[in-house]
């Protein structure tokens, strides 16, 4: 059977925080969760756009300012969620940037690595204590088929200061998303019912392609109708990872048709590199050092 939005069980009584939820995949993820009864927090950089998005949704929806390019903003958002929510059942690390020209975050990190990985690493670490007491809570982090693109964790140049390729930097950030998920799950599995799961949307037709290299932007109108799928379909892997009772920690969900670009969500395999435990653990340690965020002790 093909897993669809109608397969989402009732989320009544559950609290979901979705990053980057004012548009695209994040918006569709938040919409579906709210329509199935969840209390949903749109964690977004632009509060005005977040409020516009919230006005289009039904159910219990609120907006939380969260700028993943700023550790100060991340800490402030985490503090506010601690003060306003009883707990978090679902954390959906969805926000991201793709193929940007070289820029840095407010803390000096390369923008793609800083936003896609370090920002979510820090945010997860700061709110994880809100998930741990709750049965069946989940951290879902959105990666990409792009984690295979020229991808490695370049510990000798994590911030791309020596050389910069927007494609390679994106690939590194999405590979880091997966390695973070696998290492987080290994730590959670020892002492917690909280699980960590990854997902990827395939080739979803969103505005992320706006920063693509010129040649890709030029051919996008041609290939997009053939390979891409609507954001509602692109959100299904995240939704299944977040809500399917059969999901296990450490699994990775994505479409399987057309080379993983389209289709309904299934369990998929990530690159062999992503399963390297030594690199996962080194990345975790470096991420703690860079962000100053240490995860709660699980014991």
Q: Which residues are catalytic?
A: 170
| Strand partners of residue 257 | 262
Q: At 62, is the secondary structure helix, strand, or coil?
A: strand
Which pair of structure tokens corresponds to residue 64?
């939380």
Transcribe 161-201 into DSSP letters: -S---HHHHHHHHHHHHHHHHHHHHHHHHHH-S-EEEEE--
Q: What strand order describes the sheet that includes 15-19?
A: 61-65, 39-44, 15-19, 90-93, 138-142, 195-199, 252-257, 262-267
Q: Angle at Cα 179 formed by Cα 174 and Cα 182, nearest 5°?
A: 130
Q: Which residues of 236-259 are buried (b: 16+ CB within 10 A; e: fewer)?
A: bbbbbbbbbeebebbbbbbbeeee
Which pair of structure tokens corresponds to residue 182?
């696998």
- Measured CA to CA, the distance from residue 41 to residue 23 in angstroms comes to 14
- Measured CA to CA, the distance from residue 167 to residue 207 in angstroms comes to 17
Closest Cα to residue 137, out of 35, 12, 15? 15
């Amino acid at each position: 059977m093909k897993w669809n939005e109608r397969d989402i069980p009732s989320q009544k009584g559950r609290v979901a925080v979705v990053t980057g939820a004012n548009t695209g995949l994040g918006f569709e993820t938040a919409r579906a969760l709210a329509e199935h009864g969840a209390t949903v927090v749109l964690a977004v950089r632009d509060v005005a756009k977040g409020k516009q998005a919230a006005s289009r949704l039904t159910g219990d929806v609120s907006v939380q300012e969260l700028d993943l390019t700023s550790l100060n903003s991340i800490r402030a958002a985490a503090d506010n969620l601690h003060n306003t929510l009883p707990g978090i059942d679902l954390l959906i690390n969805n926000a991201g940037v793709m193929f940007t020209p070289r820029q840095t975050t407010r803390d000096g990190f390369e923008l793609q690595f800083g936003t896609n990985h370090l920002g979510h690493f820090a945010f997860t670490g700061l709110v994880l204590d809100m998930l741990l007491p709750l049965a069946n809570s989940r951290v879902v982090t959105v990666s990409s088929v792009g984690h295979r693109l020229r991808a490695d964790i370049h510990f000798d140049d994590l911030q791309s200061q020596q050389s910069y390729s927007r494609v390679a930097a994106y690939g590194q950030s999405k590979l880091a998303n997966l390695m973070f998920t696998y290492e987080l799950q290994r730590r959670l599995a020892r002492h917690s019912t909280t699980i960590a799961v990854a997902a990827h949307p395939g080739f979803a037709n969103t505005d992320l392609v706006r920063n693509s290299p010129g040649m890709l932007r030029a051919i996008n109108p041609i290939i997009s109708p053939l390979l891409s799928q609507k954001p509602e379909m692109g959100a299904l892997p995240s939704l299944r990872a977040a809500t399917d009772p059969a999901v296990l920690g450490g699994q990775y969900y994505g479409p399987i048709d057309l080379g993983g670009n389209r289709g309904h969500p299934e369990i998929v395999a990530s690159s062999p590199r992503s399963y390297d435990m030594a690199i996962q653990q080194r990345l975790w340690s470096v991420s703690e050092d860079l962000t100053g965020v240490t995860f709660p002790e699980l014991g």
